Amino acid sequence: DLEAVVGPVVEASGLELVEVAFGRGGGRRVLRVTVDREGGADLDTIAAASERISRRLDVEGFDPGSYTLEVTSPGVERRLRRPQDFVRQVGHKVKVRTVEPVEGTRSHTGTVSAADGDGVTIATDAGERRVPYEGISSARTVFEWGSRT
């Protein structure tokens, strides 16, 4: 499990592991490690974490053949996957797509008014929507120019 190998290295670097994905990109195999921290991660921090992750993968014998390691931050519009991701977004705008319609629609854009271990409540233009996590097919933050400091 790559998350179990990479996670402690990322946390020791003062970062949060957002996602580990191994796939193809631009005709090559890519191990993409997405990291973040409160206030964002600067390039020096990401570069240092990349070196540490690379060394750890070597020590663990990770050898899937030729691949490229990419350590990156989630950017301004970040995917939301875990309950704690939603908790951090209380008061911020998100877009959530649901597996089944909720109040007649599968797309819900609005401000997170509450989030707990079971689901998220989104204040949309059509009213508040409570969505359980297992009913979410995808979710991300919505960047609004000038709204964050």
DSSP letter at 40 equals: -
Structure tokens of 44?
């020096």
pLDDT of 90: 94
**pLDDT range class, residue 111, cuts 50, 70, 90:** very high
20, 33 Cβ separation under 8 angstroms: yes
Q: Point out which residues pair with 35 in neighbouring strands.
A: 17
Q: What's residue 147's pLDDT? A: 55
127: three-class secondary structure by DSSP: strand
Q: Give the SS3 label for residue 144.
A: coil
Residues 49, 71 contacting (CB under 8 angstroms): yes
Question: Strand 28-36 to strand 136-141: parallel, antiparallel, or no bridges (unpaired)?
Answer: unpaired
**pLDDT at 25 (0 to 100):** 78
Indicate the average pLDDT of the chain.
Answer: 90
Name the percent of the chain lying above pLDDT 90.
Answer: 68
- Residue range 44-95, pLDDT digits in tens: 999 999 999 999 999 999 988 899 999 998 877 888 988 988 998 999 999 9
pLDDT tens figures, 15-33: 999 889 998 877 889 999 9
Rg of the chain (C-alpha set): 17
pLDDT at residue 37 in the model? 87
Which tokens is 32 given? 């993409």
pLDDT at 100 over 80: yes
Overall average pLDDT of the 135-145 stretch:
89
Contacts (Cβ under 8 Å, ≥6 apart) of 94? 80, 86, 109, 110, 111, 112, 120, 122, 139, 140, 141, 142
